[in-house]
A and B are shown apart, each in its own frame.
Chain A
């Protein structure tokens, strides 16, 4: 039983980071209708920026939690303005291709700038583990799990209820209507990319210490983010949150009770099952009318 509980805790901790990535993917998609395959690159650069702040500059993790989202958010916004804005009238295929290669470009930029196998960061919080009977919970697990979950919830609340998210919600609901109400498409798109990039950067700060920083991180995170988002319904922020957590649990249970090699396979299996059984995801907010 204690082992089972430890597996659940581990699954929720990694699931919370996946949820943060998935929410970023959905924010951008909801507001701009762009499927952002460069999101993993943003997570990687977020982790790298955190490495520079914490390891190279010797600042605290708190500095990374504040600076990195702003930095990566600004980068995402700049990419939207410089590359994707001119492609706004292009077809879906062109935009998707662009985001795929932006992601590859970000990963390769990292690889060229820091040609080492893996960069590692210290744990964000040290100290002896908490022991409840035979259940062990490390401070780092608690910090990453709770922190990523809290950040995801804040992102969700900002989009769904805050004034800053109103323009994005309007754009998500009806672009033409929102434009007629006075919202600027350029500003809203830039804001959405900033918010999505900031969430990705924050996910990088949480993921970096436990997974290490290498180009593989971009691939792992974009895969997890997309699977989490698809499970959740792709247009639902709550769905993305729950989808990420579900994915984290599924991966950890597969690793613990089947094989560690099954960890990646289970995410794709879950994706196929959801797509076959409920193509709109488990928590879709899309309204379907029979006519």
Chain B
């Protein structure tokens, strides 16, 4: 049977031959496509991450780098994911411009498969437009800013740090739990992205409370002098102060407060980044009775009487040695736990890894926790859906017991 013949100057191809050729062509082009997704080879998945490693926000990025690397080491030791090992490429990025440049470099030059934003709100906000446009699966593990959350993007997922409206509500609840009849509440807010998004959410929610006056004072990142702000609170006789900023900023403000006329009995409610043991050394143990806050994970890093924390701390020290003051911190816990959540999403996508298959798998992740892959449960379980990419919403309440923070609820 002649399947290809010339007739009237034109080549005629039989149906069976045509179908066969089409299938062969499809196979030729489709075969590489099975492994054509960038950052994925037969035995490796490249994960990119960025965050500040020096400067005022190094307390976020450096733990991010260390804890993601720690989780990846352990996952690889346990055999990797679906036969592939994970490899981390971390780019330091301090400023918004550096964050965008680092994201671009990781996606376009290093060609990573997934991008983790371990940069807090400032870096996450800066990189938001780029990762939306690039469509790469992105895990925002620290940024509370709405800029990375809204409008909703199918490729962007969020970890244990919820939006500012959730954590803002937790702070307000904490204030009125401690000072139920407060009529005047001070807010001491940093001028950078995270405190500002928090401030907006808290102001909106406080506006609905009749008879409560809010006094807002602001400070620049890494401020060490709070004379003007504290004198303002003192003049206006606020009954409690919410501090939206890092533990060093909160610590120096609280330390200077008695010198500026604020009573020693003042209630201070700190945001998640203020809840850090480093603050005890700054304010002095005798001044910690009225310090409260919320916490994004079920254990404070020094709660080593609890098995998951003890296990985590042990592997952290085995890899990095004696920790410096303030480490491991909440960003270590969230970075470590989030990497396990990501690993479960990758595992669910199967061996034919594409951006789409990962996103589809991620949206089906339910009650994910590190112990599912042999890790320590130092984060609350995370659940995602096609319409809700916020994995963790649960917040604990933290207070200082003895000389250490403890998540008490």
A residues within 8 Å of B by Cβ? 2-3, 6-7, 9-10, 55, 114-123, 126, 128-129, 134, 136, 138, 141, 210-212, 216, 252, 255-261, 263
Contacts and interface: CB of A to CB of B under 8 A. Distances in A.
B56 A6 contact: no
A258 B228 contact: yes
B227 interface: yes
Contacts of A122: 281, 284
A9 B256 CA distance: 13
B286 A126 contact: yes
B248 A136 contact: no
B248 A212 contact: yes
Contacts of B264: 128-129
Contacts of B282: 118, 120, 212
A109 to B, nearest CB: 15
CB-CB nearest 5 A-B residue pairs: A255-B227, A120-B281, A116-B324, A120-B282, A260-B228
Contacts of A9: 259
27 contacts: A3-B234, A9-B259, A10-B227, A115-B324, A116-B324, A116-B326, A117-B56, A117-B58, A117-B59, A117-B248, A117-B326, A118-B282, A119-B325, A120-B251, A120-B282, A126-B284, A129-B258, A129-B259, A134-B261, A210-B255, A255-B225, A255-B228, A256-B231, A257-B228, A260-B220, A260-B225, A260-B229
B228 A120 contact: no
A138 B223 contact: no
B92 to A, nearest CB: 13
B324 A216 contact: no
Given A117-B58, A120-B278, A256 B227 contact: yes
Given A117-B59, A260-B223, A260-B228, 20 more contacts: A3-B231, A3-B261, A6-B261, A7-B227, A115-B324, A116-B327, A117-B56, A118-B278, A120-B278, A120-B281, A120-B325, A126-B286, A128-B264, A136-B261, A138-B258, A212-B252, A212-B282, A255-B227, A260-B220, A263-B227
Interface string B210-248: 000000000110111111110100110000000000001
Contact of A256 (B223, B228, B255): B228
A214 B224 CA distance: 12
Interface in B62-115: 62
Contacts of B278: 117-118, 120
A116 B227 contact: no
B260 interface: yes
A263 B225 CA distance: 8
Chain B interface bracket (under 10, 10 to 19, 20 to 34, 35 or more):
35 or more
A3 B260 CA distance: 8
Most chain A beta-carbon neighbours within 10 Å: one of B59, B62, B225, B326: B225
Contacts of A212: 224, 248, 252, 282
A252 B62 CA distance: 34
Contacts of A121: 281
B227 A260 contact: yes
A286 B333 CA distance: 61
Contacts of B284: 122-123, 126
Contacts of B59: 117
Contacts of A115: 62, 324
B230 to A, nearest CB: 9
Nearest to B327: A116
B194 to A, nearest CB: 16
A260 B219 contact: yes
Contacts of A6: 259-261
B228 A3 contact: no
B319 to A, nearest CB: 15
A136 B230 CA distance: 14
Contacts of A257: 228
Nearest to B58: A117
A261 B220 contact: yes
Interface string B326-340: 110000000000000
B5 to A, nearest CB: 77
Contact of A10 (B223, B234, B251, B259): B259
A211 B324 contact: no
Nearest to B229: A260
Nearest to A253: B227
B403 to A, nearest CB: 11
A40 B224 CA distance: 17
A212 B278 CA distance: 11
A163 B64 CA distance: 57
B290 to A, nearest CB: 15
Given A7-B227, A118-B278, A260-B227, A141 B259 contact: yes
Contacts of A134: 261
B148 to A, nearest CB: 24
A122 B279 CA distance: 11
A210 B220 CA distance: 18
A221 B167 CA distance: 37
Nearest to A128: B264
Contacts of B286: 126
Nearest to A256: B227
